[in-house]
Amino acid sequence: MVTTTTTLHPVAVSENSSSTSTKRVLLLKPRGFCAGVVRAIDIVRIALETFGAPIYVRKEIVHNSYVVNDLAKKGAIFVNELDEVPEGARVIYSAHGVSPAVRQRAKDRGLKVIDATCPLVTKVHVEAIKFAKQGYSLVLVGHRDHEEVEGTQGEAPDVTQVVSTVEEVDALVVPDPDKVAYLTQTTLSLDEAKYMIDALKKKFPNIVGPHAQDICYATENRQTAVKNVAHGADVVLVVGSRNSSNSNRLVEVSQNLGTNSYLIDKADDIRPEWLEGMNAIAVTAGASAPEVLVQEVVAYLQGKGYGSVDEVEVMPENVRFGLPPEIVQAIASAPQPAQ
């Protein structure tokens, strides 16, 4: 249930825009950066400020082109694999996590590692290790080409199978059907995960799972916000990059409810025909999309006559994660500015 509605201060509306009497923006909250993304970006920024450029980052620190380009301008060098990092250099792991094989490769090359893996992804890695040690066959529900899934599967590759569809669940073969455990990617849609888990439970009645769901709080909260508002909107615009899993899931959630939804990197991606005859436009953002892009979308819509902007808070969100010890120690040992 929607708990609060706050009218924001509108920006100037274009003189060429149509009547603003009924055209409005529903700005969803929570939206945008989650605690894991804030932590990962802070780690790169602090590393650059403390150690100086270049700082190497394996893969995109988070899946957002604006964020990656901004950090690259500050001196971060993004690489696909550790072999691209000079021996002995400093490298940061992305928020999506890495496999033990990647960690070993970093050790072999003498790299100075700073781990920006989201703590909620680390939780899934720990679960994978636990189940594997207990002799379970592992089923990982997720998208097999996603970096998070690759990292989690790498914790126990010999006993882990990845499934993305119910058909793949039906085709699963395991040594002992009574000794099976499941985990999920943290950025799946809640409905998708439930559908898949139900299929697994039907195939393996004795299957076990994590004590708490693997889908992260931010993914769930942003999807819940969309579910609460989509019925009152004509269109849902999701700010996020194409390779952002949780952003794509927000689009799917809206579309599954019968409301047209589009994924956009920035305001310039909005097509005029999407807005034709539409009075209420809901705007949200994936967990790796910065607020500056959201505000540019709102300004664009107001320039098109959507003069009323209502921020709709579905639930409060106050999660914070601490920094890794490498960064904490670097901050502590940095010279203090002169008084």
Rounded (10°) angle between helices 35-51 and 119-133: 110
Residues 6+ apart with CB under 8 A from 77: 54, 55, 56, 57
84 has catalytic annotation: no
Burial class of residue 53, CB neighbours in 10 A (0-12, 13-18, 19+):
exposed
The tally of CA atoms less than 13 A away on the side-chain side of residue 43 is 29
Count of CA atoms in the C-beta half-sphere (13 A) of 306: 26
Q: Which residues contact 2 (CB under 8 A, 6 or more apart)?
A: 228, 229, 312, 313, 314
Q: Which of 60, 148, 150, 220 is catalytic?
A: 148
Distance CA 207, CA 181 (A): 5
What type of residue is 79? V
By annotation, the residues acting in catalysis are 148
